[in-house]
């Protein structure tokens, strides 16, 4: 230590600090907390692997067909979601004029009917003449006729029966739609639909494409909600803060997911934006606390530092000793 620094530090509290030991203590405390929380609130389906389109098509074919026909008929919420997928700014999440998604714009353009259904159907049609004929019939029909077929098929799915894996619909005029949807169902059950959605994102990168946005979006909404309900992991049970995997689950999301338990936020069409802004403000307050008037006085109001430096304050109750009595510690 130089003469200058020795003089400057003389009389100020100093004590040895073992960073390795302190780090191990923090790690041990956090590990204990994690194990306790995992034992109490662990995910019930800890051996449940990632949800796939193949699994949904195999185990819940009606749910798969409902989701697929919603894209096919253009009635899914994804088709009117707004940025970053579509140019429909009216449906983008906003608070008054504050609309971050509108500022960013469409950075991931998505036409759900074409990208999720028509492109795969064209690939299926190249291998299945029945699907090729049905697809040609559908495309040559008027828009009104297509809508009538789509609506009739969608309604019929509510009364559909599954027999030995085959979806049986009540009698009705559905045009070529059942053939097309059954083609999609068979394609999905082989596991090829998920691959097609992934590689169609950027054909030049196939088979090295790692962007799985489309398969994830395909399963969103009612299907994810059904799976979450099976494990009692819906929003009311803090479902977003759990993962379908080993302990301890995504406990670090609790501060964020807590906001969704507030009805005014969880039920709002702009809930994601509201929760994000609240969490952002909380984060900024925590970071800027040392310079925020009032908050920067908390250490003086709650003097935890006196507990940490209790040996010093036991010797010098008034704090820093006078120049007459200063000495190195």
Distance, C-alpha 120 to centroid of its chain: 26
Bridge partners, residue 162, by sequence: 167
**pLDDT tens per residue, the chain (329 residues)?**
444 455 566 666 666 777 888 889 999 999 998 888 777 766 554 556 678 899 999 988 999 999 999 999 998 888 888 888 888 888 888 888 888 888 888 888 889 999 999 999 999 999 999 999 999 999 999 999 999 999 999 999 999 999 988 999 999 999 999 999 999 999 999 999 988 888 776 666 666 667 778 888 888 777 777 776 666 666 554 445 555 555 555 667 777 778 888 888 888 888 889 988 998 999 999 899 999 999 999 988 888 888 878 877 887 776 666 554 444 44
Distance, C-alpha 133 to centroid of its chain: 39
Distance CA 162, CA 167 (A): 5
Structure tokens at 174: 């559905």
Rounded to 5 degrees, what angle do the CA atoms 266, 111, 67 make? Answer: 60
Q: Taking the model in full, what pTM does it have?
A: 0.68
Q: Which residue has the tokens 């059942």?
A: 178
Distance, C-alpha 99 to centroid of its chain: 20
Bridge partners, residue 163, by sequence: 166
Taking a C-beta distance cutoff of 8 angstroms, is the pair 255, 234 a contact? no
């Amino acid at each position: 230590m130089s003469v200058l620094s020795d003089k400057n530090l003389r009389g100020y509290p100093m004590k040895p600090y073992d960073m390795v030991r302190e780090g191990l203590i923090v790690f041990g405390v956090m590990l204990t907390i994690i194990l306790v929380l995992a034992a109490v609130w662990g995910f019930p389906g800890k051996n449940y692997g990632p949800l796939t389109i193949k699994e949904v098509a195999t185990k819940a074919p009606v749910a798969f067909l409902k989701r697929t026909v919603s894209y096919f008929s253009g009635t899914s919420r994804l088709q009117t979601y707004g940025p970053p997928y579509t140019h429909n700014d009216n449906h983008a999440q906003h608070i008054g004029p504050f609309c971050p998604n509108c500022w960013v714009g469409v950075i991931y353009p998505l036409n759900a009917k074409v990208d999720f259904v028509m492109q795969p159907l064209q690939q299926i049609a190249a291998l299945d003449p029945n699907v090729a004929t049905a697809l040609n019939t559908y495309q040559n029909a008027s828009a009104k006729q297509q809508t009538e077929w789509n609506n009739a098929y969608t309604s019929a799915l509510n009364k559909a029966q599954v027999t030995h894996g085959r979806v049986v619909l009540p009698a009705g005029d559905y045009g070529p739609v059942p053939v097309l949807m059954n083609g999609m169902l068979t394609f999905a059950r082989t596991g090829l639909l998920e691959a097609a959605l992934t590689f169609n994102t950027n054909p030049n990168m196939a088979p090295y494409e790692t962007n799985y946005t489309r398969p994830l979006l395909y399963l969103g909404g009612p299907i994810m909600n059904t799976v979450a309900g099976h494990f009692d992991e819906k929003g009311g049970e803090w479902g977003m803060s759990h993962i379908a995997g080993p302990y301890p689950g995504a406990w670090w999301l609790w501060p964020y997911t807590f906001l969704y338990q507030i009805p005014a936020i969880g039920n709002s069409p702009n809930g994601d934006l509201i929760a994000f802004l609240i969490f952002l403000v909380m984060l900024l307050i925590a970071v800027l606390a040392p310079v925020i008037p009032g908050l920067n006085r908390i250490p003086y109001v709650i003097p935890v530092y006196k507990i940490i430096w209790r040996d010093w304050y036991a010797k010098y109750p008034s704090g820093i000793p006078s120049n007459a009595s200063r000495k190195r510690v």
